[in-house]
C-alpha cells in the first residue's frame, strides 16, 4: 500500500500574505521610479495609455481593472504635469485620454528605471519562479472573476 501524499494546507491570511508580498515588490519599483519623479501607479497609467493609444476613459479603466472614479483621480496629476491630455470623446459624456509628447518622453525615461526594478526582482526570485507566479496570478484572476461581477452589481 502506497502512502498518501498530504496536500499542504494554507496557513495564515491569504490577503495579508499577498499584501506583504506586494508591498515588498512595490517598494522596490517605487524606489526606482521615484528617481524620475513618478509613482508606480503613474508609470502604469502612462504605459497603458501609450499601448492603447488615444483611449476612452471607460475602456482604460476596464483594461486596468480599475474603477472609473479612481482612474479620474489618478489622471489628475498626469494632466497637471502635461504628460496626459483628456479630450472630448464620441459623445458628450465620454472622454478620450492620450499621451502628450512630454508624457511620451517621461514614460521612456521611467521605462529605464522600471527595467532596473524588473530585472532585480527577476534575478532575486529566479525566472522560473517569476513565470510560475505569473501563471498562478493569471489563472487565479480568471477564477476570481465572479467576485468582480458581484462588486459591479451584476
pTM: 0.78
Dihedral angle over CA of 54, 111, 74, 87, nearest 10: -20
138 burial type by CB count under 10 A (0-12 exposed, 13-18 middle, 19+ buried): exposed
pLDDT of residue 7: 82
pLDDT of residue 2: 54
Helix axes 40-52, 68-80, angle to 10 degrees: 90
Q: Which CATH class is domain 23-152?
A: mainly alpha
Q: What's the CA gap between 76 and 29, in Å, rounded? A: 22
pLDDT of residue 94: 79
Angle among Cα 57, 62, 63 to the nearest 5 degrees reads 95
pLDDT tens-digit series, residues 5-44? 778 888 889 999 999 999 999 999 999 999 999 999 999 9
Residues of the chain with confidence (pLDDT) below 50:
none
Amino acid at each position: 500500500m502506497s502512502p498518501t501524499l498530504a496536500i499542504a494546507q494554507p496557513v495564515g491570511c491569504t490577503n495579508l500574505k499577498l499584501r506583504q508580498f506586494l508591498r515588498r515588490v512595490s517598494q522596490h519599483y517605487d524606489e526606482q521610479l521615484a528617481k524620475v519623479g513618478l509613482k508606480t501607479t503613474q508609470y502604469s497609467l502612462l504605459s497603458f495609455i501609450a499601448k492603447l493609444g488615444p483611449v476612452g476613459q471607460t475602456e482604460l479603466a476596464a483594461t486596468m481593472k480599475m474603477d472609473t472614479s479612481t482612474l479620474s483621480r489618478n489622471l489628475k496629476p498626469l494632466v497637471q504635469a502635461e504628460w496626459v491630455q483628456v479630450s472630448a470623446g464620441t459623445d458628450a459624456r465620454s472622454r478620450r485620454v492620450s499621451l502628450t509628447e512630454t508624457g511620451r518622453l517621461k514614460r521612456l525615461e521611467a521605462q529605464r528605471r522600471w527595467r532596473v526594478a524588473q530585472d532585480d526582482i527577476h534575478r532575486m526570485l529566479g525566472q522560473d519562479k517569476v513565470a510560475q507566479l505569473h501563471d498562478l496570478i493569471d489563472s487565479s484572476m480568471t477564477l476570481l472573476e465572479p467576485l468582480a461581477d458581484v462588486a459591479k452589481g451584476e
